[in-house]
Amino acid sequence: MKIKTKLRLGFGFLFVVVLLFGSISLYYMDKISVSAKVILKDNYETLSYTRDMRSILDQHDLPLPGESVALFKKNLVLEQHNITERGEAQAVKTLTDAFQVMTDPNIPAEQRKLAIAGIRTQLMIIDRLNMDAIVRKNAAAQAAVEKASLYLVTAASFCFLVLFSFVVNFPGFVANPLREFSEAIQEIGRKNYKQRLHFTGTDEFSELAKSFNEMVTQLDRWENSNLAKIQSEKLRIEAIIEQMQDAIIGLNEKQEVLFMNKVAAQILNLNEGQVIGMDVRVLMKKNDLLTRIMKNEGNQQPIKIYADHKESYFQLQKREIVVTVFEEAVAPVIQQTGRTAGTVYILNNITQFKELDEAKTNFIATVSHELKTPISSIKMSLKLMDDERIGMMNPEQKQLVAHIKDDCSRLLKITSELLDLAQVETGNLQLNFVKADPSEIVNYALNAVRFQANQRNIELELLLGDELSKVNADVEKTAWVLINFLSNALRYSAEKSKVQILIEEKGKGIEFSVRDYGKGIDEQYQQRLFDRYFQVPTDGNNKSGSGLGLAISKDFIEAENGKIWVESEIGEGSRFCFFLPAVD
């Protein structure tokens, strides 16, 4: 029998029981209602009629007024139509005869008085008959109520026992198989693939048990067939890790050493076979280099380690091992999430690249220093050529000399920037920190570019806040950054335009910004503006620089514990800013 059929039969049985109990209740409630209705209606109306007729006799003497006679006769007629008890009909007939005698004016007064007495007697008889009937019918009604209550209690008890038995036993048809399924699934979770379910019948649970057993059989086959393959893959991965030239250390989620290749063991001076499974926190207490590696999170600076009989440089990379798990979010939705299963530390040997970088830096510094002297001599010679005492030049020659001057100035600026870059890369950047007034730095920069601005008729608008805090900075290096901002703004601004310099206090520091109203910088280039040697593509109208000015500016500002950034939109111009913390 299918589960759906079982449920239908069970709930149908419940419906029949509830319907039977309701029918019994309605039947006996109707009987009680009828009994109460008989008591409260017929006998009560008779008593009301006799009371009204007696009141008329009590309130008036003979002969009765016409209105009283009519009212008496009306109640008498109503009583004649409401005879319900045995003996009541005879009493009503006698009452009617006496009423006729009482109202007949031809009968002597003595007889009419006797008729009134007879009327009172009959009224008392009718009252007594109806009162007795009320008592009798009330007792019968009480008996009917008690009988109905007994039947209702019996029916309710029967229904309760049936329903209680149903509630206790019927859920077992569904709950017991589900419990067996749950226990079997838990065994499968423990990789007990020998678990089987044995259900008899033709319902859905039996079909599901059959499918479950087939699934477990397949899982058992898969487990047995893939174990050797998994073991082989594990050995292959271990061999690959062992042969890698980089030092690799793997930890599980409990911070225990999962693997460590030969290179890592040699660098850390550890026995790779003995440390597997050990808590890395215990090893850190005995190995300072391992402590440096584990606590070097977030630091991008290379780690200097004595290896291969020389000072070597290693770049640390940390990778979280994330495995995919499926968790129940809001039933019945299953959410796929990642769970951290451990961490891998990789030490890339970058000694060769470090040596090449140092050689490149030394070469740049040497070449820049050697180029600076002849370029300065060329500039001096060009200046002498401008002197008319040496000789006159025609306009074409003057134009050529002017171009040579511009190129010499540009070369001299590039060599100066290369020297500054060499200082930064070699760590020889020397900053002379003083408590400087922001206005002093701004005026230094403005004086340096004012002649260039006047030549192009560009207005330099200075917006300086009141009572600015001092900053702890190198005045010349900071002014150099501001000069670089202003030179770029003048280069990319149209003639007779405006460049705005804003100095204001924000938070716990001073923000310096230079805004131009040129064509702006495309968003795709803004993130790379402060990279070395990067140049924004131009349309040929403006000469681009060396691509070092903004990179060096970034190094200067960050060395002063500040930050630097750019804000720009195409057609709206650009705003170059840097922030320096204020002196406490």
pLDDT exceeds cutoff 80 at 232: no
pTM of the model as a whole: 0.41
260-283 pLDDT, tens digit per residue, is 888 888 888 888 777 888 888 888
Q: Which residues of 43-72 are buried (b: 16+ CB within 10 A; e: fewer)?
A: beebeebbebbbebbeeeeeebeeeebebb
Angle at which helices 44-59 and 66-80 pack, to 10 degrees? 160
CATH number assigned to the domain comprising residue 464 = 3.30.565.10
Which residues span the domain enclosing 336?
Answer: 245-349
Domain count, the chain: 4
In a domain, 191, yes or no: no
CB-based contacts of 367, cutoff 8 Å, min separation 6: 418
Pairing of strands 471-473, 434-436: antiparallel
Residues 94 and 120 in one domain: yes
489 and 445 in one domain? yes
The verdict on residue 210 lying in a domain is no
User: Quick check: is 207 in a domain?
Assistant: no
Residues 276 and 326 in one domain: yes
Tell me, yes or no, whether 458 and 514 share the same domain.
yes
Which of 154, 169, 184 marks a domain boundary? 169
| Residue 190 lies inside a defined structural domain of this protein | no
Read off the CATH number of the domain in which 315 is found: 3.30.450.20
> Quick one: 52 and 159 in the same domain?
yes
- Alpha-carbon distance 276 to 261, whole Å? 11
Tell me the pLDDT band of 402, cut-offs 50, 70 and 90: confident
Residues 334 and 328: beta-carbon distance below 8 Å: yes
Q: Let me know whether 471 and 390 are in one domain.
A: no
Q: Do residues 44 and 105 both lie within one domain?
A: yes
What distances in angstroms separate CA 508 from CA 6, 389, 438, 462, 556, one per listed residue? 76, 58, 14, 22, 19
Question: Residue 396: which CATH number?
Answer: 1.10.287
How would residue 566 be classed by pLDDT, with cut points 50, 70 and 90? very high
Does 144 map to a domain? yes
- Summarised one tens digit per residue, pLDDT across range 453-467 is 998 899 999 998 888
In a domain, 23, yes or no: yes
Please check whether residue 341 lies inside any domain of the structure.
Answer: yes
Task: Answer yes or no: do 487 and 413 share one domain.
Answer: no
Across the chain, mean pLDDT equals 78
313 closest CA partner among 325, 305, 321: 305
Q: Are residues 283 and 334 in the same domain?
A: yes
Examine the fold and report which residue of 349, 377, 412 is the final residue of a domain before the chain moves on.
349
For residues 524-546, average pLDDT: 73
Per-residue tokens: 505:
């206090």
Domain end call among 321, 349, 377 = 349
Which comes out higher in pLDDT, residue 143 or 571? 571
Dump pLDDT digits (tens) for 284-326. 888 888 888 888 765 667 777 777 677 777 888 888 877 766 5
- Give dist(CA 439, CA 444) in Å, integer: 8
**Element (H or E) spanning 344, and its range?**
strand 334-349
Residue 117 and residue 91 in one domain: yes
401, 381 Cβ separation under 8 angstroms: no
507 pLDDT higher than 70: yes
**Do both 342 and 294 map to the same domain?**
yes
Q: Which helix (H) or strand (E) holds 373?
A: helix 351-385
- 474-494 pLDDT, tens per residue? 888 898 899 889 988 998 898
pLDDT score recorded for residue 171: 66
Q: How confident is the model at residue 432 (pLDDT cuts 50, 70, 90)?
A: confident
Q: Quick check: is 182 in a domain?
A: no
Both 339 and 368 in one domain: the answer is no
